[in-house]
Chains A and B, each alone.
Chain A
Amino acid sequence: MKATYLQAINLALHEEMRRDPNVFVMGEDVAVLGGAFKVTEGLLEAFGEDRVIDTPIAESLIVGAAVGAAVLGMRPVVEMQFGDFISCAFDQIVNMAATLCYRHGGHASCPLVIRAPSGAGVHGALFHSQNPEAWFTRVPGLKVVAPATAYDAKGLLKSAIRDGNPVVYFEHKRFYRSVSEDLPEGDFTVPIGVARRRREGGDLSIITYGGTLHQALDAALIAEQQDGLSVEVIDLRTLLPLDREAILAAARATGKVLVVHEDRLTGGIGGEVAALIAEHAFDYLDAPVRRVAALDTHNAFSPPLEEHILPGTDKIVQAIRSLAAC
């Protein structure tokens, strides 16, 4: 069955709510309106207002209340209307949710999913375009995922809901209706912590995730057609914990690694990936690890400024060429 990225998330929610009566959905305008992006449409009709709950605008409270419910065995799936507003709930996520299991010596858990529509490229300007994943990928106790395909969107959300830990689930808002594929019928999951090779190639490896996956694939194709280069593309899918084996295997196989992400360069996941490779696969490298990421600035409203702040296919193609020439 053909499904968009958005429909895949919606399907996962329906199926998980049907499977487990402890799963419930909570957030701003998620019930009657079906979400600002319509991701939760139809849930209220299917499961009623006890399980699909509109809240006031209070992100800290939404996450905090979900933590409380999760400790008592509920499986809350909460929505931050835009990933940018997750910062309003920062304390509840990093201090309350992330430490809960540890603080209780493993006797309590916090099975909670925070869905956050993130990403730029929609002229949302400073507070509706952010990629805040790296604020969370250094917090032990959290898991962080960022699907880029409809299959992964569905499979990772199901895994996140079934996971016993707090999972931050970044869904890219630009993909909601622009990315789709045929999904197998029925139940399937995508394991958290496992990357996936999206394209085979022997000359160099791109390691990416989320917002830049499709641009990286386009760039790899262009490099093949125009330059005869064979470029492997690895989709991390999970950002915490990172799939170290997949990252190191790519570095060892091609000896040239380009890390690409839509998040800003400084302090982004690319730094961690590069460090892992430097520590564990240095001897295999034929060139230094390179990164393509957003510039270290805020996301401007001006469409031409925004376009040049973000990575984009052209910049990736150029980086492929210059790395291949090393």
Chain B
Amino acid sequence: MALERTRHVAERTLLTMDEAGLSDFYRLMLLIRQFEERVAEMYSRGKITGFCHLYAGEEAVAVGAIRALYDKDYVISTYREHGHCLAKGVSPRTVMAELFGKATGVSGGRGGSMHLFDAGLRFMGGYAIVGGGLPLAVGLGLSIVYKEEPEVVCCFFGDGALPQGAFHESLNLASLWKLPVVFICENNFYGMGTMVQHAICREELYKFAESYKMPGVRVDGMDVLEVHGAALEAVARAREGDGPSLIEAVTYRYRGHSMSDPAEYRPRREERIWLERDPIKSLRRRMLNEKRGDENRLLELEKEVAAVIDDAVAFAEQSPEPPLSELTKHVYVD
């Protein structure tokens, strides 16, 4: 039912978008994909260490949703946040440098992969505590309402966050106070090795919205247009003061939970089925089939993106380590 409705939304979204808009979606998804592939390579070469969670496969969710926002709107996310951070406009250079732990990284090398943060661009952080971002999203919404500002908060979290009290506490209060928050659950069926049906008492996660008296919708998270259409509605509603929404984007992470997880708990057949539904390839196909894009122009874009990623890696490699004189700097404000 829900899927039928949002398919229609996707068609409508496609009709309202021009070629430049579609190319922009394509470029941004490709940027995230190639960024993540390079991160994997750098990780296996020991240039990036620690715990690192890739977003490959889920690009349509970040891009579709964040492109429904204005620059001044806020995004808050999880430890699987490279994609959201890039989509919010943070430069691939400073994100890559942060993953390398370098002084030029978004957090000066202090946070690494799981704690990206760029308040200037209103990317309000990745949170390596599952469910940790949701109460903060409520606080961002509260501040917006208090100051009578027009902004909206887009809060991303995984299916694994739903069992945390923080999810329920946050949706309840955001609804009660009609806060301008769009909650986006990236349902990729697994929280680490645990399948959704072993962790959550109902499989249709968007239906939790009913209990908290807000609209809830499930979208195909492999279709950037469908995500975008649903996000436009939810963002408009939030901006008009009508309160929060819950979007469940059904998606799939192509890799294991983190760089050290071979994902042996997942059937390979299942992985293949999702790879065939790749959000980037399918947008490309659609643009060409429906004569909404030019093959040569797309090839050019692809080259451009590859150059941006090369540049980001070179920048990160050449950047200095953070100075040892700053071991305890930034624990408090100066």
Contact = CB atoms under 8 A, between A and B. Distances in A.
Interface in A281-326: 295-298, 300-305, 308-309
A152 interface: no
Nearest to B200: A56
A127 interface: yes
B112 A58 contact: no
Nearest to A297: B328
A263 interface: no
Nearest to B201: A56
B292 to A, nearest CB: 41
Interface in B299-327: 321-322, 324, 326-327
Interface string B82-112: 0000000000000000000110000001111
Nearest to A36: B192
B165 to A, nearest CB: 6
A211 to B, nearest CB: 17
A253 interface: no
A54 interface: yes
Contacts of A159: none
Contacts of A28: 191-192, 194
Interface stretch (B58-66, B127-135, B146-154): B127-135
B329 to A, nearest CB: 8
B198 A302 contact: no
A304 B164 contact: no
Interface residues of A, number: 34
Contacts of A85: 129
B50 A301 contact: yes
Interface residues of B, number: 37
Contact of A296 (B163, B165, B331): B331
A56 B163 contact: yes
Given A57-B191, A302-B322, A128 B101 contact: no
A305 B109 contact: yes
A123 interface: yes
Contact of A29 (B163, B192, B328): B192
B324 A54 contact: no
Contacts of B110: 125-126, 298, 300-302, 305
A60 B166 CA distance: 11
B249 interface: no
A302 B328 contact: no
Nearest to A301: B112
A309 B111 CA distance: 14
Contacts of B165: 58, 60-61
A126 B111 contact: yes
A190 interface: no
Given A32-B193, A304-B321, A127 B327 contact: no
Contacts of B50: 122-125, 128, 301
Given A55-B199, A297-B331, 4 more contacts: A56-B163, A88-B164, A298-B331, A305-B327
5 contacts: A57-B191, A58-B164, A297-B328, A301-B113, A302-B102
Interface of A: 28-29, 32-33, 36, 54-58, 60-61, 84-85, 88, 122-128, 295-298, 300-305, 308-309
Interface of B: 49-51, 101-102, 109-115, 128-131, 160-165, 191-194, 198-200, 265, 321-322, 324, 326-328, 331
